[in-house]
Chains A and B, each alone.
Chain A
Amino acid sequence: MIRLLFIILILIPTTAHAYLDPGTGNIIINVLIGGLAAFLYSLKGLFYRIIKGRKNTNQVPKTYREIVIFNEGKQYWGTFKPVINSLISKKRYFSYYTLDIEDPALSIESEYMQSRFLGYGWWARFRFLRLEGSIMLSTTPNIGTPGYPLKRPSKIKKLIHVFHSINDISAYRKGSLDNYDVVIMPGDFQAKSIREIEKVRSLRTKELIALGVPYLDDLVSCKKDTVYDKNAKTVLIGSSWGTKGCLQSYGSSFIRYIAVAGFNVIIRPHPQSVKTEQPLLAKIKSELDGIRNVIWDETISPAESMNRADILISDTSSIRFDFAFIYEKPVITLDIRADEMPGYERDDMKEIWTDTSSHEIGYVIERNEIHDLVPAIKRALENFDTSTLRAIRERTIANYGKSGEAIAEYLCKSESVK
Chain B
Amino acid sequence: MNGNILTNALEMTAKFAYLKIYALTSNFGISLLLLSLVSSMLMILLMRAAKKYPERESKVQGIISPMISKIKNESRGEERHHRISELYRKYAYHPILGLRSAIPVLIQLPFLFAAYIMLSNLSELKGVGFLFVRNLGAPDALLQGNNILPFIMTVVNMTTAIITVSFSSRDKMQACVIALLFLVLLYSAPSALLVFWTMNNITLLIRTVAKQIMRREMRFLFLNLFSREHTSATEPSGFFSTEKLVTVLIPYFALLSLFYLYQAAATFSSFIFSRGTKPFYFFVSSTGLLILLVIKSRFKFLSFGVKIIITCLIVLLIVFCRLWESDIFGTSGEFISVFSLSCITGFILTAAAFFISLFGRDKTVHKEFIPAWKRYLLGFAVAMAPALYIASNNSDYLHGMYYAYYILVIAIFSTCTYLWLVTFSGNLFSKSRAAFFASLFSFLFVLLPVIRSRFVIFSGTDLFFFLLFLCVLVFFSVCEKLLTFNRLVLFAVFFSLVSVISIINRNIDYNIFNSRKTIGIPASLKSIEFKTTPNIYLFVYDGIPNFHVFDYLSIRKDRLKELLDTYEFKVYENTYSLGSDSLGSMASTLNCSPNIYTTDAARNTYSGNSLVSLIFKNKGYKIYNLLTDYHTGTYAVFNKNLVHETYPPVEIDRIRLNFFTTLIRGFFQGEFSSNTKGMKLRGNFTEDDIQKRKLEIIMNKEKMKLVINHSKYPHHAQNSGKCRPDEKDIWIGKYNIALDQMEKDFSTIREYDPNAIVIAIGDHGPFLAGDCARLRDWEKEKISADLILDRMGTMVAIRWPNPVRAKKYDRDLVINPDIFLVVFSYLSGNNEYLKMKPDRTVKEFGVTFREGKLIE
Let me know if A222 is at the binding interface, CB within 8 A.
Answer: no
Contact A115 B90 (CB under 8 A): yes
Contact A15 B167 (CB under 8 A): no
Let me know if A256 is at the binding interface, CB within 8 A.
Answer: yes
Interface of chain A: mostly helix, strand, loop or mixed = helix
Expressed in whole angstroms, the Cα–Cα distance for A37 and B243 within the complex equals 37
Which among A178-186, A290-298, A347-355, A376-384 touches the partner chain? Answer: A290-298
Taking CB atoms, residues of chain A closer than 8 Å to B367 are 249-251, 367
Contact B178 A290 (CB under 8 A): no
Contact A106 B166 (CB under 8 A): no
In B478-492, the 8 Å CB interface with A consists of none
Closest CB of chain A to B167's CB: distance in Å? 5
Taking CB atoms, residues of chain A closer than 8 Å to B171 are 22-23, 25-26
Closest CB of chain B to A324's CB: distance in Å? 27
Q: Scoring A residues 257 to 279 as 1 if CB is less than 8 Å from chain B, else 0, what string do you get?
A: 00110000000000000000101
Contact B81 A48 (CB under 8 A): yes
| B90 touches which of A7, A18, A106 (Cβ 8 Å) | A106
Expressed in whole angstroms, the Cα–Cα distance for A13 and B201 within the complex equals 13
| B427 touches which of A44, A106, A120, A283 (Cβ 8 Å) | A283
Contact B92 A27 (CB under 8 A): no
Expressed in whole angstroms, the Cα–Cα distance for A256 and B237 within the complex equals 13
Which of A29, A115, A256 has the most chain B CB atoms inside 10 A of its CB? Answer: A256
Which among A51-59, A65-73, A385-393, A401-409 touches the partner chain? Answer: A51-59
7 contacts between A and B (CB under 8 A): A8-B109, A20-B47, A21-B51, A101-B59, A127-B92, A252-B236, A279-B428
Taking CB atoms, residues of chain B closer than 8 Å to A21 are 51, 166
Contact B98 A34 (CB under 8 A): yes
Closest CB of chain A to B278's CB: distance in Å? 37
In B92-130, the 8 Å CB interface with A consists of 92, 94-96, 98-99, 101-102, 104-105, 108-109, 112-113, 116
Contact A1 B1 (CB under 8 A): yes
Contact A101 B368 (CB under 8 A): no
Taking CB atoms, residues of chain A closer than 8 Å to B231 are 290-292
Closest to A47 in B: B81
Expressed in whole angstroms, the Cα–Cα distance for A20 and B82 within the complex equals 36
Contact B364 A248 (CB under 8 A): yes
Taking CB atoms, residues of chain A closer than 8 Å to B476 are none
In A40-84, the 8 Å CB interface with B consists of 41-42, 44-45, 48, 52, 54, 56, 58
Closest to B117 in A: A4
Size category of the A interface is 35 or more
Let me know if B239 is at the binding interface, CB within 8 A.
Answer: yes
Known: A1-B1, A20-B104. 9 other contacts (CB 8 A): A15-B109, A17-B204, A24-B54, A38-B99, A48-B82, A106-B91, A248-B364, A285-B239, A286-B241
Contact A38 B94 (CB under 8 A): yes
Taking CB atoms, residues of chain A closer than 8 Å to B168 are 23
Expressed in whole angstroms, the Cα–Cα distance for A132 and B1 within the complex equals 54
Expressed in whole angstroms, the Cα–Cα distance for A59 and B104 within the complex equals 33
Contact B90 A12 (CB under 8 A): no
Given A11-B109, A11-B112, A249-B364, A22 and B91 contact (CB-CB distance below 8 Å): no
Contact A35 B427 (CB under 8 A): no
Which of A22, A115, A116, A124 has the most chain B CB atoms inside 10 A of its CB? Answer: A22
| A282 touches which of B47, B92, B241, B364 (Cβ 8 Å) | B241
Contact B98 A10 (CB under 8 A): no
Which among B157-165, B393-401, B766-774 touches the partner chain? Answer: B157-165
Contact B175 A25 (CB under 8 A): yes
Expressed in whole angstroms, the Cα–Cα distance for A252 and B168 within the complex equals 39
Taking CB atoms, residues of chain A closer than 8 Å to B165 are 22
Let me know if B711 is at the binding interface, CB within 8 A.
Answer: no
Contact A15 B90 (CB under 8 A): no
Taking CB atoms, residues of chain B closer than 8 Å to A172 are none
**Residues on A facing B (Cβ under 8 Å):** 1, 4, 7-8, 10-31, 34-35, 37-38, 41-42, 44-45, 48, 52, 54, 56, 58, 101-102, 106, 115-120, 123-124, 127, 243, 248-253, 256, 259-260, 277, 279-280, 282-283, 285-293, 339-340, 367
Contact A19 B40 (CB under 8 A): yes
Q: Scoring B residues 556 to 583 as 1 if CB is less than 8 Å from chain A, else 0, what string do you get?
A: 0000000000000000000000000000
Expressed in whole angstroms, the Cα–Cα distance for A4 and B237 within the complex equals 50
The 3 closest A-B pairs by CB, nearest first: A34-B98, A286-B239, A38-B95
Let me know if B374 is at the binding interface, CB within 8 A.
Answer: no
Taking CB atoms, residues of chain B closer than 8 Å to A48 are 78, 81-82
Taking CB atoms, residues of chain A closer than 8 Å to B98 are 30-31, 34-35, 37-38
Contact A290 B116 (CB under 8 A): no
Closest to A58 in B: B89
Closest CB of chain A to B426's CB: distance in Å? 5
Taking CB atoms, residues of chain A closer than 8 Å to B1 are 1, 4
Given A31-B99, A31-B101, A7 and B185 contact (CB-CB distance below 8 Å): yes
Contact B174 A27 (CB under 8 A): no
Closest CB of chain B to A39's CB: distance in Å? 8
Expressed in whole angstroms, the Cα–Cα distance for A206 and B264 within the complex equals 63
Q: Scoring B residues 142 to 185 as 1 if CB is less than 8 Å from chain A, else 0, what string do you get?
A: 00000000000000010011001111101100110011011001
Contact B91 A17 (CB under 8 A): no
Contact A18 B91 (CB under 8 A): no
Closest CB of chain A to B748's CB: distance in Å? 69
Let me know if B5 is at the binding interface, CB within 8 A.
Answer: no
Expressed in whole angstroms, the Cα–Cα distance for A73 and B78 within the complex equals 33
Taking CB atoms, residues of chain A closer than 8 Å to B102 are 27-28, 31
Contact B63 A277 (CB under 8 A): no
Closest CB of chain B to A26's CB: distance in Å? 6
Closest CB of chain B to A127's CB: distance in Å? 8
Contact B44 A120 (CB under 8 A): no
Taking CB atoms, residues of chain A closer than 8 Å to B364 are 243, 248-249
Contact B59 A27 (CB under 8 A): no
Expressed in whole angstroms, the Cα–Cα distance for A38 and B85 within the complex equals 12
In B272-302, the 8 Å CB interface with A consists of none
Contact B178 A260 (CB under 8 A): no
Taking CB atoms, residues of chain A closer than 8 Å to B112 are 11, 15
Expressed in whole angstroms, the Cα–Cα distance for A163 and B208 within the complex equals 46
Which of A23, A25, A127 has the most chain B CB atoms inside 10 A of its CB? Answer: A25
Let me know if B526 is at the binding interface, CB within 8 A.
Answer: no
Let me know if B750 is at the binding interface, CB within 8 A.
Answer: no
Which of A26, A52, A127 has the most chain B CB atoms inside 10 A of its CB? Answer: A26
Taking CB atoms, residues of chain B closer than 8 Å to A20 are 47, 104-105
Expressed in whole angstroms, the Cα–Cα distance for A100 and B85 within the complex equals 20
In B492-506, the 8 Å CB interface with A consists of none
Taking CB atoms, residues of chain A closer than 8 Å to B200 are 18
Closest CB of chain A to B575's CB: distance in Å? 54
Closest CB of chain A to B240's CB: distance in Å? 9
Let me know if B517 is at the binding interface, CB within 8 A.
Answer: no
Contact A280 B427 (CB under 8 A): yes
Contact A101 B91 (CB under 8 A): yes
Let me know if B408 is at the binding interface, CB within 8 A.
Answer: no
Closest to A25 in B: B171
Expressed in whole angstroms, the Cα–Cα distance for A285 and B239 within the complex equals 9
Contact A18 B201 (CB under 8 A): yes
Taking CB atoms, residues of chain A closer than 8 Å to B89 are 58, 116
Let me know if B232 is at the binding interface, CB within 8 A.
Answer: yes
Taking CB atoms, residues of chain B closer than 8 Å to A26 are 170-171, 174
Given A256-B233, A283-B427, A25 and B167 contact (CB-CB distance below 8 Å): yes
Expressed in whole angstroms, the Cα–Cα distance for A24 and B40 within the complex equals 18
Contact B234 A256 (CB under 8 A): yes
Contact B63 A253 (CB under 8 A): no
Expressed in whole angstroms, the Cα–Cα distance for A199 and B109 within the complex equals 60
Taking CB atoms, residues of chain B closer than 8 Å to A37 are 95, 98
Taking CB atoms, residues of chain A closer than 8 Å to B236 are 252, 256, 286-291
Closest to A27 in B: B101
Given A17-B175, A286-B239, A35 and B85 contact (CB-CB distance below 8 Å): no
Closest to A371 in B: B369
Taking CB atoms, residues of chain B closer than 8 Å to A44 are 81
Expressed in whole angstroms, the Cα–Cα distance for A46 and B218 within the complex equals 57
Expressed in whole angstroms, the Cα–Cα distance for A377 and B77 within the complex equals 65
